[in-house]
Each structure stands twice: as structure tokens, then as C-alpha cells.
Structure 1
């Protein structure tokens, strides 16, 4: 397999990143188990700087790539985990990169505080979306309230948003957008992890 045959999903990493919100997503994208095309997808981390960052759970992560070197043409998706930085200027480079991705037609997936950053930047004003709660986004003074949907995760034209309390549904929306799994396999995956139904495990084992 050549380097060019690998499809990369970029995950933004920064101090205060909410580890638990992307665990299902990163583990499954980076693992070939049950993938439609085993070995096609991989995760790479990207950050505004090159120094290690510390997640909310205290894990130290060394970014694979600086944000200014990331081109939408080299990525299948930009994932923005929840964080405490979104109301500050420190998060501006990530919003700018998200805009660049969307302008190029490349999907962006944001969860928890990252949805707040996109809301503040006006990026949710013309897309159906969700977040931790409607009141959370309303408190930020955004103009997209009419398109808020009280669902665990929403995908509107390649812009995926998710609630902090719904990491499994957020991951499922990402997998569906990327086409990582056959639909029946994705249903079994969600049956196991989303509904805690052991039947999903046996279905996956037989897939």
C-alpha cells in the first residue's frame, strides 16, 4: 500500500481537549476491523503549534502536523473535539481552518465546545446543527437558532455537529459520512456501542 492510497482523517488537538468525546471515533477510524476497505483510513493529529498538548484527562499528545501545513486536499475530514479554548483567541486558527475545509467541500465534524466556536463564527447560521443544548449556543449570541435540532448528532451537507454526551452518535455520523463501514456493519456497530446490545457483537464477528 502506498502513502497516497491512505485516506487521512485529521483530528485537532489542543490543551483542554475532551478526550472522551472522540475515543470511539479515533479508535474505529484507525482500526481496520470491519472497515469496508481495510487499511484505507488513518488518524493524524494537527495543532496550531508543534509542542505537546495536554488533554482534559491529563494525556500529553505530540501533534503530527502543524495546522498551517494542513491542506483540505490532503484530508478526508477535520475533527474538532470539545475544549475550553473556544471562547478565546487561541481557538481562532482552528475556526479559520474549518472555514477553509468547508470552502473546499471537505467535511468538518465538531462536538461540544467546538460547536460553540463554529456558532460564534457564524458557521452554523445556514446549517442544521446540534450542540450540548440550545441554551448553550443561544448564550453565545449566534444567529442560527432556527436550525438547531435537539438530536445527539446532525450532519448537514458535510458539517457534522454533536452533543458532548453523545460520543457514540457523533462517531456514527462521522463513519457514515466517510463511508468507512457497510451500512449493515455500521448498524451492528451502533447496536453494540450505542444500544449496549450484545447481539451487535455477534453480528460484527460474523461480518
Structure 2
């Protein structure tokens, strides 16, 4: 079940122009190994009001649950020390140091669009599609060949990739 979450039930107006009304509050997040928390990019992650959700992310990672963060959300993880012991990426070499004086994970920084390590999946903004692929893979949503065709289609737009994808998801009883 997918739920949007925030520190209040007030509508959120995103950088991309969407209005999101949260389904629940941070305290309502189930702390289970099967939980997944995805932190979207924004330029407001240094605001102390986000501390509660990052604390929840820390609890989830400690339990073995999955946390994904893209773009500016990686700053909040860096501020909380959650990137100090896992391979990760962000918006380029030096970005996390610029916005997070507490950041100590430089040796684990990987200069790639998206990086998955120990239930943490991070990405820079150009890695959104790869980030989605790694999340889908981690969740086991598709079989491996279906996921590869899915990624190939959405990264290239080639019709043959679409038809290959459709072949992997067609019901077995179709002739």
C-alpha cells in the first residue's frame, strides 16, 4: 500500500507544481523490515522540520527496511550521518560537503546516477529512472528479464523494447 506522509496533514506544494495531501503523519509510519520510505528531491531538506522523517529513515535502515533518497533528500541523510557507512551518490562531488558540514561519507561516495547499498538507494536528479529501476528490483516487482526490458524501453523509447517487455508480462495462456 502506497501512502504519502508528512509532519502535518496540510497540503504540500512541490517544486514541480503538484499539490499533495498527505495520507498520514510521520508517527503513523509502520516500522517493519518490509517498509519502504522514499524521500523526494527538494531544496528544503536542511530545514529542521524534516528531522522527524530522517529519524524515521534511520530507524527503518537500522531494522533492515528500505530507504530511497534522490537529489536534495541526500543532504538530509548526510546531515544525520546516514551516508557515513553506506555507498551512496548525490548531485556531484562536493555537493554534500557544501550543504552538510556533518557529512563524513566522502570515501563511500560513488559518482554514478544511482547507487544501492545495504537497503539504501540514492540518486542524483539525472538518475531518476535508474533509481526507480533499483527500487523496483529491490522490491521484487518484476522478474529480472521483465525489469531489464522495462528499463531498456523507458531509457531508449525503442518500440522493439516495448514489444519485448510486453512479451514478458503477457499471460501464459495467450496464444
Compute the TM-score of the two structures, normalised by the length of structure 2.
Answer: 0.90
User: Shift in Å at residue 85 of structure 1?
Assistant: 1.5
Counterpart check, 1:156 vs 2:117: yes
Which segment is superposed worse, 124-133 or 83-92?
83-92
Residues 115 and 127 (structure 1), Cα distance of their counterparts in 2 relative to 1, 3 Å cut = same
Q: Which residue of 185, 194, 206 corresponds with 2:146?
A: 185
Q: Which residue of 2 aligns with 1:78?
A: 37
Gaps of 5+ in 2: 169-175
| Secondary structure in 2 matching 1:73 | coil
User: Shift in Å at residue 57 of structure 1?
Assistant: 2.0
Size of the aligned set, in residue pairs, is 166
State the distance in 2 between where 1:62 and 1:205 align: 34
User: Shift in Å at residue 172 of structure 1?
Assistant: 0.5
Max radius of gyration: which structure?
2
Compute the TM-score of the two structures, normalised by the length of structure 1.
Answer: 0.76
Q: Which residue of 2 aligns with 1:65?
A: 24
State the distance in 2 between where 1:44 and 1:178 align: 16
State the distance in 2 between where 1:45 and 1:75 align: 17
Q: Which residue of 38, 63, 85 corresponds with 1:104?
A: 63
Contact 2:33 2:65 in 1 (8 A): no
State the distance in 2 between where 1:197 and 1:132 align: 28
RMSD over equivalenced CA pairs, Å: 1.3
Contact 1:46 1:63 in 2 (8 A): yes
Higher RCO (CA < 8 A, seq sep 6+): 1
Gaps of 5+ in 1: 1-7, 9-42
State the distance in 1 between where 2:157 and 2:78 align: 32
Contact 2:33 2:60 in 1 (8 A): no
The list of structure 1 runs, each at least 4 consecutive aligned residues, that deviate by more than 6 angstroms after superposition, is: none
Contact 2:33 2:63 in 1 (8 A): no
State the distance in 1 between where 2:119 and 2:156 align: 25
Q: Which residue of 1 aligns with 2:15?
A: 56
User: Shift in Å at residue 51 of structure 1?
Assistant: 1.2
